[in-house]
Amino acid sequence: MTAQLHARGDVAVLVPAAGAGLRLGPGGPKALRLLAGEPLLVHAVRRIAAAPSVRLIVVAAPAAEVDAVRALLAPVAAVIVVPGGAERQDSVAAALAVVPADVGIVLVHDAARALTPPELIESVAAAVRSGRPAVIPVLPVVDTIKEVGPAEPARPDHAPVDVVLGTVDRSVLRSVQTPQGFRRDVLAAAHASGLGAHTDDAGMVEKAGVPVTCVPGSELAMKITRPLDLVIAEALLHVT
């Protein structure tokens, strides 16, 4: 079960890659969709493997694709592939379960952030190593953000519309990316406590009262979610 990468590395990277990619439209699981002729997961794993801190990579693949993903990644890097679960959190838990006890730092990194540079992996890992129990990469929010609610009273002859309830102070908001880094015991405890559904891993440890520290994110760590993101990612390939 050991698939060691950099012998001096002290970090395991868990790669949830078991999602359906519904927002990307038809074409199969997102991690296996092609970008410049290669699956997103290959782009992602190649960059993770290039980070010298990484001792181990565990990929949570769509259950029906475990063997295919193993074969796909064999020439890219030494990885462990496990079947993912119904929710992202289940996929992360399945990957965490196979990390050997002597690995003290665990990063969780979406396969969908396929162009994330190795330097960002290193900077998150370094912040955890320096004593931060939980670390997230963040970017400032560029759009103005408004809180909205349904217009009252709803007019039966019209489609429902929203009205603005207020404008949020953007200066205190951040967009959150992956990799998110954790002391292993902190992430394991958050998963064991079953703290409800969260859209990221830091949300879970945050709920448990653990301080979460921010480091600067990267535009290259964008999440490929909708069809236009694939076009943007293809253009970004030329600057990476």
Q: In whole angstroms, what is the distance from residue 92 CA to residue 86 CA?
A: 11
Tell me how far the alpha carbon of residue 88 is from its chain's centroid: 9
Q: In whole angstroms, what is the distance from residue 169 CA to residue 219 CA?
A: 22
Instruction: Find the shortest distance in angstroms from Cβ 222 to Mg ion.
Output: 15
Instruction: Find the shortest distance in angstroms from Cβ 92 to ligand CTP.
Output: 7
H-type alpha helices, 76-173: 88-96, 118-129
Q: Which residue is nearest to ligand CTP (CB)?
A: 19
Q: What would the DSSP string read from start to end of 40-78? A: HHHHHHHHHHTSTTEEEEEEEE-GGGHHHHHHHHTTT--
Q: Which is nearer to Mg ion, 9 or 21 (CB)?
A: 21
Instruction: Find the shortest distance in angstroms from Cβ 115 to ligand CTP.
Output: 13
Instruction: Find the shortest distance in angstroms from Cβ 153 to ligand CTP.
Output: 34
Residues from 3 through 32 that contact Mg ion (CB under 5 A): 19
Name the CA radius of gyration of the chain, rounded. 19
What does the binding site for ligand CTP look like in residue numbers (CB under 6 A)?
16-23, 30-31, 60, 84-88, 91, 110-112, 223, 225
175 binds, among ligand CTP, Mg ion, none (CB under 5 to 8 A by kind): none
Q: Which is nearer to ligand CTP, 22 or 239 (CB)?
A: 22
Q: In whole angstroms, what is the distance from residue 52 CA to residue 125 CA?
A: 10
86 binds, among ligand CTP, Mg ion, none (CB under 5 to 8 A by kind): ligand CTP
Q: Which is nearer to ligand CTP, 126 or 188 (CB)?
A: 188
